[in-house]
Amino acid sequence: METTKKLLKEILVNDLKIQGIKPEDISDTEPLFGDGLGLDSLDAVELVVLVQKHFGVQIEDMDEGKKAFASVESLALYVLDHKE
């Protein structure tokens, strides 16, 4: 779980190019969208692709995506639950 969360934080910072923040600065429970990291809908689409690329996990349902993208912790749980 910790390895998955660490990798997700690195993906957020490096692949989504979040400026002025390091992976270790991201809290496990911090919201990814809105007042948290400030990701937007375009970032969500890119994050779906990145999760599939790095973990082989596909997020097809928007309701599942909303729950999974609540925080790094929720996304890590989703990835671990759906990894083949």
The yes-or-no verdict on residue 2 having pLDDT over 80 is yes
Under 8 Å between Cβ of 56 and 35: no
Domain ranges of the chain: 2-82
CATH code linked to domain 2-82: 1.10.1200.10
Per-residue pLDDT tens for 48-80?
999 999 999 999 888 888 999 999 999 999 999
Angle between the N-to-C axes of helices 41-55 and 2-15, in degrees from 0 to 180, rounded to the nearest 10: 130
pLDDT tens digits for range 19-56: 899 999 999 999 999 889 999 999 999 999 999 999 99
Give the DSSP per-residue string, 57-71.
Answer: -----HHHHHHHTTB
| Cα–Cα distance measured from residue 72 to residue 28, given in angstroms and rounded to the nearest whole number | 5
